[in-house]
Amino acid sequence: MPEKRIEITGVNPAELFGVNNKNLKHIKSFFPKLMINSRDNILNVSGEEELIDEFERKLQLILKHYHKFNALTENNIDNLMLADGDRMISTDDGSETLVHGNGGAKIKARTVNQKKLVQSVQDNDMVFAVGPAGTGKTYTAVALAVRALKAKEVKRIVLTRPAVEAGENLGFLPGDLKEKLDPYLMPLYDALRDMIPPEKLADMIEFGIIEIAPLAFMRGRTLDKAFVILDEAQNTTTMQMKMFLTRMGMTAKFVITGDMSQVDLPGRQRSGLAYALDVLKEVEGIGVVRLGQSDVIRHSLVKKIIEAFDKIELEEKLAKADRETAADTFKTRKKRNE
């Protein structure tokens, strides 16, 4: 059986492989047909030659990532193990940093599709970013908005989302209208607080440089010289979506984010996001970026949760299709017998 001895240089193997070899065990899980043993900075790998070559290629990507970011998580490993994992790492000349956050933290697009989102916003004035929870849709969009504001490409940022969860119950919540709505806009505040010092953020909101408002407040307005983000767009109705998209001024950037697996609209109302994606798919100048499980950058469990839900939803759809097919077959036979 072919065997190869791979030496790890330039990094501390204990830090790279994690506590109790947690990272190494996760890497091994992608190569169940290989025997992989470690001792100090040496990996002994045995198995099929093609698999050993693939393992060594992926290991080099992991080492490159670790040298660049000085960190390695299970989620990083998952992304790097994808077929396009080698595209996730490129030379950082400083241009990849979207904005410097509080404490000097560099806020960057961290996955392939997040980078596609950045590029799409540069190329188009209106972009739809669609994907499951934790893929960085809103966070990346807010970072792009802050960057545009700091570069004086726009004069203000407008962040909005539908307050679907509150519905008609807003009047029963304590406080004035702002206090009633703030809980539903909190994800937007959270992203901004990572990128702008609290005192400066408060001033920018007070003077209208940054506006955070529910979607209903957009009616009748023209949003010009602004970077506008509609978050949770899956919870807009078709009329709300049309209203929002037609607020676009001559020199504005619009980013619409949403997750079609989390539609909270009452009854059988069609999501405005789904409608817009269908209606506008042939319109030139509108970008669409679809993020997936490989872009999840929250806790590693989030990706597993999404996979579990997707599996059940697919099974339910297939079962429903089978029931409908059986019902149609029964009706056809009944008509023939009549």
Give the largest Cα separation in the chain, rounded: 81
Judge whether residue 144 has pLDDT over 90: yes
Strands 42-46 and 35-39, by their bridges, are antiparallel
Banded model confidence at residue 305, pLDDT cuts 50, 70, 90: confident
Between 160 and 77, residue with greater pLDDT: 160
Banded model confidence at residue 90, pLDDT cuts 50, 70, 90: very low
Distance between start and end Cα atoms, the chain: 69
Lowest mean pLDDT among 163-172, 190-199, 226-235, 261-270: 163-172
pLDDT in tens, 214-253: 888 888 899 999 999 999 999 999 999 999 999 999 889 9
CA separation for the pair 119, 335 (Å, rounded)? 57
Distances from the Cα of 17 to the Cαs of 73, 80, 82, in angstroms?
10, 15, 19
Residue 245 one-letter amino acid: L
Q: Check: CB of residue 137 under 8 Å from CB of residue 257.
A: yes
Q: Which residues contact 58 (CB under 8 A, 6 or more apart)?
A: 27, 30, 80, 81, 85
- pLDDT on residue 93: 41
- The percent of residues above 90 in pLDDT, for the chain, comes to 30
Q: Check: CB of residue 147 under 8 Å from CB of residue 253.
A: no
206: left (phi over 0), alpha (psi -120 to 50) or beta: alpha
pLDDT in tens, 11-33: 888 888 888 888 899 899 888 88
CA separation for the pair 227, 157 (Å, rounded)? 5
Strands 126-130 and 286-290, by their bridges, are parallel
Distances from the Cα of 119 to the Cαs of 25, 43, 112, 292, in angstroms?
35, 39, 11, 17
pLDDT in tens, 186-219: 888 888 998 999 889 999 999 999 998 888 888 8
Distances from the Cα of 248 to the Cαs of 194, 201, 244, 298, in angstroms?
27, 25, 8, 32
The pTM for the full model equals 0.64
